[in-house]
A and B are shown apart, each in its own frame.
Chain A
Amino acid sequence: MTALGANWRKGRALFVHAFASMTEYRAEIVIWMISGSLPLVMMAMWIGLAADGPVGGYGAADFAAYFLVVFLVRQLTVVWVIWELDREIRLGELSPKLLRPIDPLWGHVADNLAEKAVRLPLVLVPVVAGLWWAGARLPLTFESLAGFGLLVMGAWVIKFFQQYATGLLTFWTDQAVGLERVWFSVSMVLSGALAPLDLFPEAVRGVLPYTPFPYLVDVPVQALLGRLGGAELLQAFAVQGAWGLAFVVGSRWMWRHGIRRYGAVGA
């Protein structure tokens, strides 16, 4: 059997297992969905502001479209791997996983993707209903859909490996979760989840494209809303890809160095 075939079989086994256990968590997934509804609160506030006419070029329906797609993007890129790593490393639960002939990374990836497969239909229903109700129409072209799909995957890669890297800090300190909270606070605002980034003051807007934050929410959203041209899409892929690669390489490097310090508590 070829190496590729073996890997395919391993990946499929991991995914099927993860999918089976995630379907058990349907009710929890709905609650986790609701807990990510802050963008919808912001939507209500902005729609209230736009009641007397457009605000910064956005009318009520534009705000509805923007924040409903923000909600969708954040739901499709939800990552919680830091809580798993924090627990596994501190309590020594990582030990049995190290005995398996496969990197623990892949188990986490399979869990996350399987959860997305369960979550996607649950998320699409309220988003599509909301868009229809608010009278917001998306210009669904091949370009906007393909661009959106790729940018959401890229956003997931950045978020997953950023959190994986932060989680691996548990090898050195027990404050990794606190650091993740700091990252979360900053990225909530700077990713555009609370206000469209083109409404930000000039000084902030000039710096943002050099940070990974806009590529987590705002850029994929603008792609689906059809506001990015071909050249802008290509540039977004390039910058987002570079950040994704940096976090992948960084977290792999941390894994190699951190695992040597692993104390295997409880083993």
Chain B
Amino acid sequence: MRRYLRIWRIFFTHSLIQDLEYRLNWWLNAFNTLLFLGSSALVLWVVFTQADAIGGWTFDQALTLLGVYLLIEGVTVVFLVPNLNRVPQYVRKGELDYLLLKPIAARFIVSTRYASVWWVPQLGLALAVILVGMARQGTLTAGHLGLLALMLVAAIGTLYAVWFALTTTAFWFVKVDNVSELFTAFFAAGRFPVSAYPGWVRALLTFVVPVAFLTTVPAEAAAGTLTWGWALAAVGVAALLLALSQALWRYALANYTSASS
């Protein structure tokens, strides 16, 4: 475990050094995140001039949810996209052979080798929005923060498991480079609480594409309205999906017949 942490730190430092070549990009991305936040807040404002609540959520609760959305999206862009988008290429060009030869778990290298450090400002800004939202709701206590942290970990676990499993299908379908496009399309629904949508959309977002567990559940934890049943469900879903994705990965590796030899 300690060894893996050390290796991850080396990977991250490497990405950091590489990205520092493009410092202007860092500022552009920070500016862009601010703009995104401003425009999303404008949309929320437009919505709340027409209604008192969306799906039973107040403005402050919806703002906190926006922070959670930004945070999860930021984690995706910084840690998941640069790694998992490379998997189809590893398989197609047979580069996976070299990764399998390394004396650490191949899944670990595939998932952590790169990081887009440029987008780190988004993570900080997202946390700030969450904290401001919680302060305005008066729920900024250690208990709520602890539950929020746990739900965020579960959300990231769920997200990673789903994306990793979709990427693993590259072993059979090869051309799955567009997985991230599809994900972004569905994840966009996460900028509002699932209760804001008509019933069948809500069911779709909870049981088919688990967007509800990515943003609505953590934001409910921050608002102090999360029930224990949903909290347990979030952890259970994350654990189950992680286990399934690991099984799929092992099955894929067992059937892997290298493109290069």
Number of A-B residue pairs, CB cutoff 8 Å, is 86
Tell me if B55 and A41 are in contact (CB < 8 A): no
Q: Which of A137-145, A179-187, A219-227, A245-253 contacts B (4 or more CB under 8 A)?
A: A179-187
B18-61 vs A, Cβ < 8 Å mask (1 yes, 0 no): 00001011001101100110010011011101110011000000
Q: How far is the CA of A189 from the CA of B192 in the complex (A)?
A: 16
Q: How far is the CA of A48 from the CA of B195 in the complex (A)?
A: 9
Interface residues on chain B, number (Cβ under 8 Å): 33
Q: Which residues of A contact B28 (CB under 8 A)?
A: 175, 178-179, 181-182
Tell me, yes or no, whether A34 is within 8 Å of chain B by CB. Answer: yes
Tell me if A199 and B32 are in contact (CB < 8 A): no
Given A44-B201, A55-B51, A185-B36: A201 and B182 interface contact (C-beta under 8 Å): no
Interface residues of B in 50-87 (CB under 8 A from A): 50-51, 54-55
Tell me, yes or no, whether A28 is within 8 Å of chain B by CB. Answer: yes
Tell me if B178 and A28 are in contact (CB < 8 A): yes
Tell me if B47 and A185 are in contact (CB < 8 A): no
Interface residues of A in 160-174 (CB under 8 A from B): 174
Q: Which of B6-14, B89-97, B183-191 contacts A (4 or more CB under 8 A)?
A: B183-191
Q: How far is the CA of A183 from the CA of B13 in the complex (A)?
A: 31
Interface of A is mostly: helix
Tell me if B39 and A195 are in contact (CB < 8 A): no
Tell me, yes or no, whether A38 is within 8 Å of chain B by CB. Answer: yes
Contact of B188 among A28, A38, A186, A199 (CB under 8 A): A38
Q: Which residues of B contact A38 (CB under 8 A)?
A: 185, 188
Q: Which residues of A contact B24 (CB under 8 A)?
A: 175, 178
Tell me, yes or no, whether B196 is within 8 Å of chain A by CB. Answer: yes
Tell me if B35 and A45 are in contact (CB < 8 A): no
Most-contacted residue by chain A among B36, B39, B185, B189 (CB, 10 A): B185
Tell me, yes or no, whether B197 is within 8 Å of chain A by CB. Answer: yes
Tell me if A44 and B36 are in contact (CB < 8 A): no
Q: How far is the CA of A174 from the CA of B42 in the complex (A)?
A: 30
Q: Which residues of A contact B55 (CB under 8 A)?
A: 48
Q: How large is the interface on A (under 10, 10 to 19, 20 to 34, 35 or more residues)?
A: 20 to 34
Given A44-B197, A188-B39: A56 and B188 interface contact (C-beta under 8 Å): no
Tell me, yes or no, whether B198 is within 8 Å of chain A by CB. Answer: yes
Tell me if B185 and A201 are in contact (CB < 8 A): no
Shortest beta-carbon distance, B158 to chain A, in Å?
Answer: 19
Shortest beta-carbon distance, A176 to chain B, in Å?
Answer: 10
Q: Which residues of A contact B22 (CB under 8 A)?
A: 174
Q: How far is the CA of A266 from the CA of B50 in the complex (A)?
A: 56
The 10 A-B residue pairs with the shortest CB-CB distance, nearest first, are A178-B28, A189-B39, A35-B181, A31-B178, A55-B50, A185-B35, A56-B50, A41-B189, A195-B46, A44-B197
19 more A-B contacts (CB under 8 A) besides A35-B182, A48-B54, A48-B197?
Answer: A31-B182, A34-B182, A35-B185, A41-B189, A45-B192, A48-B201, A49-B47, A49-B54, A49-B196, A55-B51, A178-B24, A178-B25, A178-B32, A181-B32, A182-B31, A186-B39, A189-B39, A189-B42, A195-B46
